[in-house]
Amino acid sequence: MKAFDYLKPDAVPAAVGALAANPDAKLLAGGMTLLPTMKQRLAEPAALIDLAGIAGLKGITLDGDTLTIGAMTPHAEVAASATVAAAIPALAALAGGIGDPAVRNRGTIGGSLANCDPSADYPAAVLGLGATVITDRREIAADDFFLGLFETALEADELITAVRFPRPLRAGYAKFKSPASRYALVGVFVAETVAGVRVAVTGAAASVFRAPAFEAALAADFTPGAVAGLSVDAADLNADIHAEASYRAHLVTVMAKRAVAAALE
Amino acid sequence: MAEGTAPISPEGAAIGRPIARDDGVAKVTGRARYAADCRPPGLLHAVIAPSRIARGRVTAFDLDAAMAEPGVVAVMTPANRPPLAEDPDAKTAPIVFRLDLLQDDRIRYAGQPVAVVIGETLEAAEEGAFRLAPAYAAEPALVDIDAAEPFVPETVGLGAPVERRRGDVEAALATAAHRVQRRYETAAQVHNPLEPHAVVAVWEGDRLWVDTPSQNVARAQRRIAGLLGLPPDHVHIRSPFVGGGFGAKAFPAGPQVLGILAARLVGRPVKLVLSRAQMFGAVGHRAPTRQTLRLGLADDGTIAALAHHARVASSRFDDFFEPAAALSGGVYAAGAVETTHEAVRLDIATPVVMRGPGEATGSLALECAIDEAAAELGLDPLAFRRLNHADTEPISGRPFSSKALRACYDAGAARFGWAGRPLAPRSLSDSDGRLVGLGIGTAVFPSMMFQAEARALLRADGAAIVELGAHEIGQGAATALRQIAADALGLPLSAVTLRTGASDLPDAGGAAGSSHTATAGSAIHAAGTALVARLAALATADPASPLHGAGNAVLFAADGALHAGDGRRDPHAAVLARAGLGAIEARGAAAPDRAARASHAMAAHGAVFAEVAVDPDLGAIRVTRLVGAFAAGRIVNPRLARSQLVGGMIWGLSLALHEAAQFDPATGAIANADLGAYRIPVHADLPFVEALLVAEEDTLVNPLGVKGVGEIGITGTAGAVANAVWHATGVRIRRFPIRIEDLALAMPGREKEDDA
Q: Is residue B111 part of a domain?
A: no
Q: Other CB atoms closer than 10 Å to residue B680's CB: what's the count? A: 15
Q: Which residues of A touch B672 (CB under 8 A)?
A: 241
Indicate the residue of A41, A180, A254 with minimum beta-carbon distance to B677.
A180
Please answer yes or no on whether A241 and B617 come within 8 Å at the CB atom.
Answer: no
Q: What are phi and psi of A260, to 5 degrees?
A: -65, -45
In sequence order, which residues have a C-beta less than 8 Å from that of residue B490 and are 6 or more positions away? B528, B532, B556, B557, B558, B559, B560, B561, B562, B572
Q: Average pLDDT for residues B345-370, to the nearest whole number? A: 98
Q: Is residue A205 part of a domain?
A: yes
Task: Tally the domains of chain A.
Answer: 2
Give the gap in angstroms from C-alpha B128 to the nearest C-alpha of chain A.
11
Q: Is residue A210 part of a domain?
A: yes
Q: Average pLDDT for residues B504-520, to the nearest whole number? A: 97
Q: Is residue B327 part of a domain?
A: no
Residues B571 and B698 in one domain: no
Chain A contacts to B (CB-CB under 8 A): 1, 41, 176, 178-181, 241-244, 246-247, 250-251, 254, 257
Q: Is residue A7 part of a domain?
A: yes
Give the gap in angstroms from C-alpha A11 to the nearest C-alpha of chain B.
34
CB B200 within 8 A of CB B271: yes
**Residue in B closest to A228 by C-alpha:** B617
Q: Is residue A208 part of a domain?
A: yes
Domain that holds residue B484: 450-591
> Is the CB of B676 inside 8 Å of chain A's CB atoms?
yes
Q: Which residues of A touch B679 (CB under 8 A)?
A: 179-180
pLDDT of residue B754: 39
Residue B194 carries which DSSP code? S
> Is the CB of B659 inside 8 Å of chain A's CB atoms?
no
Quick one: what percent of chain B has pLDDT higher than 90? 94
Residues B441 and B525 in one domain: no
Residue B554 — pLDDT band, cuts 50, 70, 90?
Answer: confident
B contact test, residue of A175, A176, A252, A255 with most B CBs within 10 A:
A176
Residues B495 and B637 in one domain: no
Q: How does pLDDT run across A86-140, given as a tens digit for each residue? A: 999 999 999 999 999 999 999 999 999 999 999 999 999 999 999 999 999 999 9
Residues B388 and B404 in one domain: yes
Residue B748 — pLDDT band, cuts 50, 70, 90?
Answer: low
Please compute, for residue A152, the number of CA atoms within 13 A of its CA located in the half-sphere on the CB side. Answer: 25
Residues B597 and B743 in one domain: yes
Residues B567 and B638 in one domain: no
**DSSP helix/strand/coil, B263:** helix
The last residue of one of the domains, among A13, A28, A50, is: A50
Residue A46 carries which DSSP code? S
Q: Which residues of A touch B744 (CB under 8 A)?
A: 247, 250
Q: What are phi and psi of B151, to 5 degrees?
A: -145, 170
Q: Other CB atoms closer than 10 Å to residue A229's CB: what's the count? A: 8
How far CA B233 is from CA of A148, B498, B726, in Å, comes to: 64, 22, 56
Give the gap in angstroms from C-alpha B52 to the nearest C-alpha of chain A.
15
Q: Which burial class, exposed, middle or buried, applies to B17 when counting CB atoms under 10 A from its CB (0-12, 13-18, 19+)? A: middle
Mean pLDDT of chain B: 95
CB A260 within 8 A of CB A224: yes
Q: Is residue A71 part of a domain?
A: no
Residues B442 and B519 in one domain: no
Domain that holds residue A29: 1-50
d(CA B214, CA B232): 16
Q: What is the CATH number of the domain that holds B522?
A: 3.30.365.10
Q: How many CB pairs under 8 A join A and B?
A: 31
Residues B380 and B485 in one domain: no
Q: Is residue B530 part of a domain?
A: yes
Q: Is residue B183 part of a domain?
A: no
Q: Is residue A188 part of a domain?
A: yes
Give the gap in angstroms from C-alpha B39 to the nearest C-alpha of chain A.
24
Residues B583 and B619 in one domain: no
Closest CA to B360 of B129, B188, B611, B192: B188
Q: How much is the ipTM here?
A: 0.92
Q: What is the CATH number of the domain that holds A26?
A: 3.30.43.10
CB B487 within 8 A of CB B527: no
The last residue of one of the domains, among B551, B570, B591, is: B591
Quick one: what percent of chain B has pLDDT higher than 70? 97
d(CA B422, CA B428): 8
Q: Which of B338, B342, B467, B711 is catalytic?
A: B711
> Is the CB of B69 inside 8 Å of chain A's CB atoms?
no
Residue B337, strand partner residues: B166, B306
Q: What are phi and psi of B128, to 5 degrees?
A: -60, -40
d(CA B123, CA B644): 38
Specify the pairing of strand B178-186 against strand A5-7: unpaired
> Is the CB of B317 inside 8 Å of chain A's CB atoms?
no
Decide if B711 is catalytic.
Answer: yes
pLDDT of residue B290: 98
Residue B254 — pLDDT band, cuts 50, 70, 90?
Answer: very high
pLDDT of residue A1: 65
Omega prior to B737 cis, within 30 of 0: yes
Closest CA to B339 of B272, B292, B283: B292
d(CA B71, CA B124): 5
d(CA B140, CA B84): 31
Please answer yes or no on whether A41 and B130 come within 8 Å at the CB atom.
Answer: yes
Q: How does pLDDT run across B189-221, given as a tens digit for each residue? A: 999 999 999 999 999 999 999 999 999 999 999
d(CA B653, CA B638): 22
CB B153 within 8 A of CB B79: no
Residues B477 and B585 in one domain: yes
Residues B512 and B610 in one domain: no
Q: Average pLDDT for residues B478-483, to the nearest whole number? A: 98
Scored b (16 or more CB within 10 A) or e, B384-418 reads: bbebbebeebbbeebebbbbbbebbbebbbebbeb
The last residue of one of the domains, among B538, B567, B591, is: B591
Task: Tally the domains of chain B.
Answer: 2
Please compute, for residue A119, the number of CA atoms within 13 A of its CA located in the half-sphere on the CB side. Answer: 19
CB B327 within 8 A of CB B363: yes
Q: What is the CATH number of the domain that holds A178?
A: 3.30.390.50
Q: Is residue B534 part of a domain?
A: yes
As a 3-state breakdown, chain A gives helix, strand, coil percent values, each rounded to 5, of 40, 25, 35
Q: Which residues of B touch A257 (CB under 8 A)?
A: 617
Q: Average pLDDT for residues B549-572, to the nearest whole number? A: 88
Q: Is residue A26 part of a domain?
A: yes
Closest CA to B449 of B74, B700, B635: B700
Residue B12 — pLDDT band, cuts 50, 70, 90?
Answer: low
Q: Which residues of B touch A251 (CB under 8 A)?
A: 618
Q: Which residues of A touch B676 (CB under 8 A)?
A: 178, 180-181
Specify the pairing of strand B178-186 against strand B235-238: unpaired
The last residue of one of the domains, among A9, A35, A50, is: A50
Q: Which residues of chain A have pLDDT under 70?
A: 1
Q: How does pLDDT run across B96-110, given as a tens digit for each residue? A: 999 999 999 999 999
Q: Is residue B457 part of a domain?
A: yes
Indicate the residue of A180, A181, A250 with minimum beta-carbon distance to B745.
A250
pLDDT of residue B552: 65
pLDDT of residue B172: 98
Full-prediction pTM beyond 0.90? yes
- Checking if the pLDDT of B752 tops 70, the result is no
Please answer yes or no on whether A1 and B662 come within 8 Å at the CB atom.
Answer: no
pLDDT of residue B747: 87
Closest CA to B740 of B611, B616, B617, B618: B618
- Checking if the pLDDT of B11 tops 90, the result is no
**DSSP helix/strand/coil, B590:** strand
Residues B443 and B470 in one domain: no
Q: Is residue B693 part of a domain?
A: yes
State the alpha helices, DSSP H only, in chain A: 12-21, 34-39, 75-80, 82-87, 89-96, 101-106, 109-115, 122-128, 142-145, 212-220, 224-228, 245-264
Residue B731 — pLDDT band, cuts 50, 70, 90?
Answer: very high
CB A177 within 8 A of CB A97: yes
Q: Is residue A184 part of a domain?
A: yes
**DSSP helix/strand/coil, A28:** strand
The last residue of one of the domains, among B559, B575, B591, is: B591
pLDDT of residue B402: 98
CB A114 within 8 A of CB A134: no
Q: Is residue B544 part of a domain?
A: yes
Q: Which residues of B touch A244 (CB under 8 A)?
A: 741
